[in-house]
A and B are shown apart, each in its own frame.
Chain A
Amino acid sequence: MPPSLSPVRTLSRCLLRPQSPIHPRCQWHPSSIRQASAAAGARLNGTVEFDSTPILQHTSRAALANPELPPDVRNGQTKRINLYTAVNEALRHALQTDERVLVFGEDIQFGGVFRCTMNLAGDFGTDRVFNTPLSEQGLVGFAIGAASEGMKPVAEIQFADYVYPAFDQLVNEAAKRRYMSGSTGYNCGGLVVRMPCGVVGHGALYHSQSPEALFTHIPGLHVVIPRSPLQAKGLLLSAIQSNDPVVFMEPKVLYRAAVEQVPVDAYHLPLDKAEVLKSGKDLTVVSYGTPLYTCAAAISAAEKDFGCSVELIDLRTIYPWDRKTVVDSVKKTGRAMVVHESMMNAGVGAEVAATIQEQAFLRLEAPVKRVTGWATHTGLSFEKFIIPDVTRVYDAIRKTIEY
C-alpha cells in the first residue's frame, strides 16, 4: 500500500472488506508491510512507490498506447483497478463469453480469500463457480478430467505454497496428457491453474513461496506470472483461451498494491513474449512479477548515481520463455542480471543466465549476475533480509557495470 494513502482511508477499506471467519487462511491481507519496516535512514530500501512507479500505467493514454492491444481496445475506455479486480474481470469475461468455462477452488464461492472471484458465483451460478473440498490433488485432478471432456476449468490453489499435493496431477497428468494420448486427441488444453505466489511481508514459510522454477522443468505446461493489473487481465484471458494447460501465478502482494489504468474491454496478451519495459544500453535486467518494482526503483537510483543506462525486461511467460528478446537485449548491452524472489540454485535465473552465456558469449563483458532469494526458507521476521530488495539490486547493478 502506498504510504501516501491516509491511515483513515486504509482503515475504512479494511472495514469495508468482507471478512470471513471460516478458515484461518482467510485472514490474509496482502498489504505491503515492507515500507513500514524500512530502516530510518534508508535511501534505497523503502522507495518502491506504487502510485508513481514506471511499471504501472497511471494514465489512460499510457495504458492504451500499448502496441500489443488490438485497435478496438486501444480506442476504448480504461478504468483504474487493482490486480485482484483485473483477475476478477478476466474471469467474468471468460465466464460470460464461453459456457465451457468453470471457476472453482477452495473458498471461491464467497469471493475467494483474495477477492479474485467476487460476485462470480452470484452472477454465473454455483454450477459454474463453486467451492471444492479442501484437497489440492482432488481439485486439480477434477479440473484435468473436466478439461479432458471439453470444459475450460480455471482452478484455484489458495496459495502457491499448497500446490505440492497437486504436483503429481500437474506434472504426470496435465503436462503429459496431449503427448501420451497421441493421435486419439485427448488433451486438457482448457485447463488453467491459478495460484497466488510470492512474499507478502509476513507470509513466513507457507504463504510466501514462488515455486515457478519447479514448473519450468516440466515440458507441457505454460508458466505465466503477470506484473500488473493490465498484464494480469490480458495474460489470464490468453491462458484460458490457450489449448495447453497453464500455471498462472499471481503475485499476491500486488493484488491491492498495484493499481493502474486497465482497458475496460477484453483483450489478449501473447503467452510467448517477454516485454522490454524500459530500454537501456549498458545492462539488461531480466525479472518478472513483484521484483520488477524493486528493479525499477533500483535502476532509477543507479542510473542517477552511476550515470548508466539499464534495460529492464519482464519475462511474463516463465516457460516456454522468450529467449530471443533477452538474448537480443544482452547482445546490445553486453551485461545481464536476473532478479527473482525464489532461491538461486536451479531457479529461473540459472536457465536465463545459461542461455545468455550460450547465445551471447562473445558479447558478454561481465558475468551474468543473479540477484535472488538466499538458500533458506522465508522465516517470518527475516523476509526483508532474504528477498532481493532495492539495495541488493542497486549493488548488483554497480558491480556488474564496474566489472
Chain B
Amino acid sequence: MPNTMSLRASTRRIHCSKLLHPTTYLHTRQTPKVPVGWRQCRAVASTASAERVLFPGALNSKFTNEMAFIRPSTHKAIPTYRVMDQYGQVINKEVGVDTEDEEALTLYRNMVCLSIMDLLMFEAQRQGRLSFYMMSAGEEGIAVGTASALDPSDVIFCQYRETGVFLQRGFTLDQFMNQLFANKEDLGKGRNMPVHYGSKELNIHTVSSPLATQIPHAAGAAYALKLQNQQQSDKPPRVAVCFFGEGAASEGDFHAALNIAATRQVPSIFICRNNGYAISTPTSDQYRGDGIAARGAGYGIDTLRVDGNDIFAVRRAVKEARRIALENGGKPVLIEMMAYRVGHHSTSDDSFAYRQKVEVEDWKRRDNPITRLRKWLEGRGVWDEDKERELRSSLRKKVLAAFDKAEKMKKPPIASAFEGVYEEITEEQKQHIEELRDILQRYPKEYDIDQHEGGIESLSQLLEKK
C-alpha cells in the first residue's frame, strides 16, 4: 500500500518539524495544528478532538504538547509509615496502637527469644557445632509483626531471614534445633542447609536457597487460593505472603512475579525487607530508583513503605494489606519494610570487611525493633528490668536445652538420601541404592553408618518397599 506508506512518512515529518518549531514550546496551551492526513489516520483509534491517546498500551494517557521527561530525581521519596518513634512514643495518640498489652508482651517475648537463639546459634557455629547459620538481628519486628497480623491459614513463602515468622506461628525450639542439626526429627529429613525451615502444618513453604524464586511461587499460590476462596465459600478467604530482601528484588523473578500477580489479580502480599545490604552490596549498587516501593506503581500494585523497626506500623500495614489483597476477589499489595541488617549476612561472612563497625554499633544503639517495643512496654508500665533479666535467662535455658537434645539425636536414615526425588523410587534409583549398600557392606570402616537412624537396614527396607 504505497499511499498509506507515503502518507504516514510525511505526517511524521511534519510532526517532527512542529516539535522543533519554537511556538510549540512557548505556547503549550495552544493546540498544535494536526495535519489533515494524520487526523484521518488517527480517526481509526480516536476522534480528532479526543484528549486521550487511546493507544491500547496506555488507555488512560492524555496527550500533551509539552515534552517533559519523567525525572525520578525531582520526585519526593515515598514516605516511611510509622506509628511510634524510636523512643517508643506513639506519635498519633488519637489513633494509638491496635495491639493489646498482652499481645504486645507476647510479640516482645518472641522477638527476644529470636535474638537469643540467634546469638547462641551464631556462637555454636563459631565453635563448629553447626555447619551454618543466619541471624535476623534488626529485622525481628518485620517477621514477628507480619506473622502476628496474618491469619494462621494464610500461606507464607520466606527467603531465609524470617525465622521470626516460624517462631510467631508456633514452630517450636525443638523443631528449629532439629532442622539446624539435620537430625532424624528434622521435618526436612536432613536434606537442607541450616535455617531452611518449612512447615505445612503452619502453612509456611520450605525455604530454598535460590533467591527470589519464591516470589512467583507466591503469586501462583495466591492464584490457587483465589480460586479456592471462590469455590469454598464456607471457609474464610486466605492470602499468600512472600518475603524477600531488597537484593533479591533485582532478580528477574521479582519482576516476573509482581507483573503476573497484577495481571491475574491475586490475593498476595509481597514484603520486601530492605535492610541496606545484600551480603556486601550496598543499596546504591543494587538500584537507583526510590527503593523497591517505587516499583510497585509501575506494576499497578498498591504499595506502602513502612518503618520495619516499628512493630505496630508493621502490624497495621500488614492487616490493611490483607484487607486490600482480598478486595474484589483479590489484588496484590507490595510493602517495603525499611530496616538495617545489624548482624553479618551469615556465619560465612564478616561484614566489617565492607562496612564500618561504628555504623553497625550506631544502628544497634540508636534504633532496633526490640528496644523500641521495650521502651513502649516500659512506658505502659508492663515491663521492667527484673522481668527483662528473668525472661532472658529462662529463654537462654530453653534454647540450650533444645540445642543439647537436638545435637545428641541421630541423623536421618540413609534411605532419606533417595526418597522423595519422585513420588516412587525409580528403577535407576533401586540400582544405585543396591550399589551403595554393597559399598557400605564391603567398606564398613570407611563410613559412619551408625550415626544414621536404622543404619544400613534403611536401604534394605527401601528396596523391599513397593
Residue positions of A touching B, CB distance < 8 A: 99, 127-128, 130, 132-133, 135, 137-151, 153, 165, 168-169, 172-173, 176, 178-187, 189, 219-220, 222, 242-244, 272, 320, 323-324
**Residues of B close to A165: CB separation below 8 A:** 252
- B421 interface residue (CB < 8 Å to A): yes
Q: A141-B256, A149-B155, A173-B210 are in contact. Are A130 and B215 (CB under 8 A)?
A: no
Partner of A149, one of B190, B221, B255, B259: B221
Closest CB in chain A relative to B90 CB, distance in Å: 38
Binds A, one of B28-36, B70-78, B125-133, B191-199: B191-199
Residues 216-257 of B contacting A (Cβ, < 8 Å): 216-225, 227-228, 230-231, 240, 252-253, 255-257
Residue of B nearest to A322 (CB): B427
Binds A, one of B37-45, B200-208, B335-343, B396-404: B200-208
B208 adjacent to A176 (CB under 8 Å): yes
A127 adjacent to B227 (CB under 8 Å): yes
Partner of A142, one of B187, B191, B216, B416: B216
Q: A168-B210, A168-B213, A182-B187 are in contact. Are A145 and B420 (CB under 8 A)?
A: no
| A140 to B256 alpha-carbon distance, docked (Å) | 10
Closest CB in chain A relative to B45 CB, distance in Å: 16
| A133 to B427 alpha-carbon distance, docked (Å) | 39
| A137 to B210 alpha-carbon distance, docked (Å) | 13
A320 adjacent to B427 (CB under 8 Å): yes
B260 adjacent to A139 (CB under 8 Å): yes
| A354 to B165 alpha-carbon distance, docked (Å) | 49
**Residues of B close to A144: CB separation below 8 A:** 216-217, 220
Q: A146-B220, A186-B200, A186-B206 are in contact. Are A141 and B253 (CB under 8 A)?
A: yes
| A145 to B261 alpha-carbon distance, docked (Å) | 12
- B428 interface residue (CB < 8 Å to A): yes
List 13 additional contacts besides A141-B213, A144-B217, A320-B428; criterion CB under 8 Å: A127-B227, A133-B256, A135-B260, A139-B216, A142-B219, A144-B220, A149-B221, A149-B240, A172-B208, A173-B208, A182-B190, A182-B198, A184-B188
| A132 to B189 alpha-carbon distance, docked (Å) | 36
- B422 interface residue (CB < 8 Å to A): yes
Closest CB in chain A relative to B433 CB, distance in Å: 13
- B423 interface residue (CB < 8 Å to A): yes
- B264 interface residue (CB < 8 Å to A): yes
- B310 interface residue (CB < 8 Å to A): no
- B307 interface residue (CB < 8 Å to A): no
- B139 interface residue (CB < 8 Å to A): no
**Residues of B close to A179: CB separation below 8 A:** 191, 420-421
Partner of A320, one of B187, B224, B422: B422
**Residues of B close to A145: CB separation below 8 A:** 157, 216-224, 240
**Residues of A close to B257: CB separation below 8 A:** 138, 141-142
- B263 interface residue (CB < 8 Å to A): yes
Return the 4 tightest CB-CB contacts between A and B, nearest first: A141-B216, A145-B220, A138-B256, A145-B217
Interface string of B172-198 (1 = CB under 8 A from A): 000000000000001111111000101
| A178 to B427 alpha-carbon distance, docked (Å) | 18
| A143 to B219 alpha-carbon distance, docked (Å) | 9
B206 adjacent to A182 (CB under 8 Å): yes
B205 adjacent to A133 (CB under 8 Å): no
| A141 to B218 alpha-carbon distance, docked (Å) | 9
Residue of A nearest to B196 (CB): A180
- B65 interface residue (CB < 8 Å to A): no
Q: List 18 A-B contacts (CB under 8 A).
A: A130-B264, A135-B252, A135-B259, A137-B256, A141-B213, A142-B217, A142-B223, A144-B216, A145-B221, A150-B228, A168-B253, A169-B216, A178-B422, A179-B421, A180-B188, A181-B198, A182-B187, A184-B199
Residue positions of B touching A, CB distance < 8 A: 155, 157, 186-192, 196, 198-201, 205-206, 208, 210, 213, 215-225, 227-228, 230-231, 240, 252-253, 255-257, 259-260, 263-264, 416, 420-423, 426-428
B187 adjacent to A183 (CB under 8 Å): yes
**Residues of B close to A183: CB separation below 8 A:** 187-189
| A99 to B224 alpha-carbon distance, docked (Å) | 11
Closest CB in chain B relative to A42 CB, distance in Å: 41
Closest CB in chain A relative to B18 CB, distance in Å: 31
**Residues of B close to A133: CB separation below 8 A:** 256, 259-260, 263
| A147 to B224 alpha-carbon distance, docked (Å) | 8
Q: A138-B253, A182-B206 are in contact. Are A153 and B220 (CB under 8 A)?
A: yes
A186 adjacent to B227 (CB under 8 Å): no
Partner of A324, one of B215, B216, B217, B427: B427
**Residues of A close to B210: CB separation below 8 A:** 168, 172-173
A146 adjacent to B221 (CB under 8 Å): yes
B217 adjacent to A148 (CB under 8 Å): yes
**Residues of B close to A135: CB separation below 8 A:** 252, 255-256, 259-260
| A130 to B216 alpha-carbon distance, docked (Å) | 16
**Residues of A close to B186: CB separation below 8 A:** 182
Closest CB in chain B relative to A162 CB, distance in Å: 14
Q: A137-B256, A165-B252 are in contact. Are A244 and B227 (CB under 8 A)?
A: no
| A142 to B256 alpha-carbon distance, docked (Å) | 9
B216 adjacent to A137 (CB under 8 Å): yes
B213 adjacent to A172 (CB under 8 Å): yes
A184 adjacent to B187 (CB under 8 Å): yes
Closest CB in chain B relative to A137 CB, distance in Å: 5
Partner of A138, one of B221, B259, B423: B259
Residue of B nearest to A176 (CB): B208
| A293 to B199 alpha-carbon distance, docked (Å) | 49
Closest CB in chain A relative to B137 CB, distance in Å: 26
| A354 to B240 alpha-carbon distance, docked (Å) | 46
Q: A141-B220, A144-B217, A180-B208 are in contact. Are A186 and B198 (CB under 8 A)?
A: yes
Residue of A nearest to B261 (CB): A142
B427 adjacent to A323 (CB under 8 Å): yes
B423 adjacent to A173 (CB under 8 Å): no
Residue of A nearest to B185 (CB): A183
A132 adjacent to B263 (CB under 8 Å): yes
Residue of A nearest to B419 (CB): A179
Interface centre among B196, B208, B422, B423 (most CB of A within 10 A): B422
**Residues of B close to A140: CB separation below 8 A:** 216
**Residues of B close to A187: CB separation below 8 A:** 423
| A260 to B188 alpha-carbon distance, docked (Å) | 47
**Residues of A close to B230: CB separation below 8 A:** 127
